[in-house]
Structure 1
Amino acid sequence: MHCARGVSIKYHETHTHNEAKEKVHSSHSFRNLLENGSVYVGLNAALCGLIGNSLFRRVLNVTKARIVSALPMAVLPFFTTEVTYRGFVNFPLITELIYFLGDLNCETCTATRSGLVGLLVGGLYPVFLALPVNGSLAARYETALLPNKGNILSYWIRVSKPVFRKMLFPILLQTVFSAYLGSKQYKLLIKALHLPEPGQEIH
């Protein structure tokens, strides 16, 4: 009797999961946003990397090796942010709402996590990455007077301040966009699965 009940429950859960996946796949708007959302965040991160790279090149008077510095500043932030967003937002969101195994079960949680990914990985990381890339080029081509060993930290802080000041708006924009995207994905998935909003009762 217990065995039959267990099989019945397992069948019901499997049927529910399959039905939920079919609903998600049939929702064109959510599928499109789910597949391309992390790409949008990654592209914004690549743009932040290119802007930060350009600003550091100006500060350090680096005029050579444009492609050498621009290529990693676009590629690395894009892939790092895209993979991080998928791993920390997309995957937990789907596993929670379809399989009940994730840890994103509210819109605020999703927006907060996606916003943090946008801030730390999609905004700050590209700018910090631009510092050693262009610092090494400045040392190689001797375009800037680099400090002695004792003044390295204070020198790079002074050099970075105007760059981070100018990057404040792109970083904030990336953060807000990522948070909005996560919130939108959550709402679309709730709608695709025909689930009630948190706090609402099922009638």
Structure 2
Amino acid sequence: MAALGRAAGSQLGDVSVVPVGAGEAPKDTQMTTYTHGQPVSSVEDAKFRRPMVTEIMEKKFEYLRKENKSLNIYGSLFYGTTAGFSGMLANFIFRYCFKVKHDTLKTYASLTTLPFLSTVVTYKLFVTDALYSGNISQENCVVRSTLVGLVCGVLYPSALAFSKNGRLAVKHHTVPLPPKGKVLFHWLLLCQREVKAMAVPLILQMLIGIFNGLQHYAVFEGTLEKTVHED
């Protein structure tokens, strides 16, 4: 019995002396930590990568604006100049129809300046800024450019010349006053033949709008491809 006790004690002593396998448990722990840590690092990388991509895109668009600055300025100025000439023609037509001879310089100055400024500002807001923000396609760019020419280069100066010279006609009694309830119809009857001449700037503004939109988009696309290849 004593021998059996000593043998059992020696076996227990051996078991207690032998250290726990320190290699395997840490390995398992390390592997678990690595596999669980991998998705976290990818999520963090995505979080850091997103603002970097946004910053790169903003730098590219800023570069495009600087590269095409001359095109933006000259294209808008040319478009605005044609709108100014359209305003002058509309003013001439309605002054002739209403037989107005007063405030010549004042009406010509406003009918030239206001369509010019409205065309330049509207083209920048609805075409140039939208193009460099990447929100419009080629077809949309052409349509917007054409609409800017029609609205700001034909309709707006025609309505402005009609209202200004109509007021002068009423003020100075250069034409018979219209009957009550038929004011607009009366004025349109007075200038229905002459107003057909506004078809010339209408067609001109449409052609310029299509050409300007196509050219602007082509230069933008070419510069964008150039920056992508350089990167």
Would the TM-score normalized by the shorter structure come out above 0.5? yes
Please tell me whether residue 139 in structure 1 is matched to residue 179 in structure 2. no
Distance 2:122 2:89 in 1: 21
Kindly provide the CA deviation profile for residues 58-78 of structure 1, in whole angstroms up to 9, marking residues without a partner as x.
111112210121121112111
Q: What number of residue pairs does the alignment pair up?
A: 185
User: Which runs of structure 1 show a deviation greater than 4 angstroms over 4 or more consecutive aligned residues?
Assistant: none
Bigger Rg, which one: 2
What is aligned with 2:102?
A: 64
From 190, 211, 220, the equivalent of 1:180 is 211
Note closer, same or farther for the CA distance 1:19–1:69 as it changes in structure 2 (3 Å cut): closer
Do structure 1's residue 111 and structure 2's residue 142 form an aligned pair? yes
* CA contact 2:149–2:205 (8 Å) conserved in 1: yes
Task: Select which of 80, 92, 95 maps to 1:54.
Answer: 92
Structure 1 residue 24: Cα displacement: 4.5
Aligned with residue 78 of structure 2, among 40, 48, 52: 40
Q: Name structure 1 gaps, 5 residues minimum.
A: 97-101, 196-203
Identity of aligned residues (%): 27
Q: Which has the higher contact order (CA 8 A, sep 6+)?
A: 1
* Bigger mean CA deviation after superposition, 174-183 or 147-156: 147-156
Q: Would the aligned equivalents of 1:113 and 1:179 in 2 still touch at CA under 8 Å?
A: no
- Asked if structure 2 preserves the Cα contact closer than 8 Å seen for 1:24 and 1:192, the reply is no
Other structure's SS at 2:192 match: helix
Superposition map of 1:13-32 within 5 A: 13-25=54-66, 27=67, 30-32=68-70
Give distance in 2, aligned partners of 1:65 and 1:16. 52
Q: Does 1:89 align with 2:127?
A: yes
Report deviation, 1:13: 3.2
1:12 equivalenced with 2:53 (yes/no): yes
Give the SS at the match of 1:149: coil
Deviations 1:42-91 (CA, angstroms, capped at 9, x unpaired): 21111111110011111111122101211211121111121111111111
User: CA–CA distance in 1 between the matches of 2:101 and 2:61?
Assistant: 54
Q: Which stretches in structure 2 are left out of the alignment for 5+ residues?
A: 1-40, 227-231
Structure 1 equivalent of residue 30 of structure 2: none
CA 1:53–1:149 in 2, change beyond 3 Å: closer, same or farther?
A: same
Say whether the 8 Å CA contact 1:52–1:163 is kept in structure 2.
no
Cα distance in 2 between the residues matched to 1:152 and 1:114 = 34
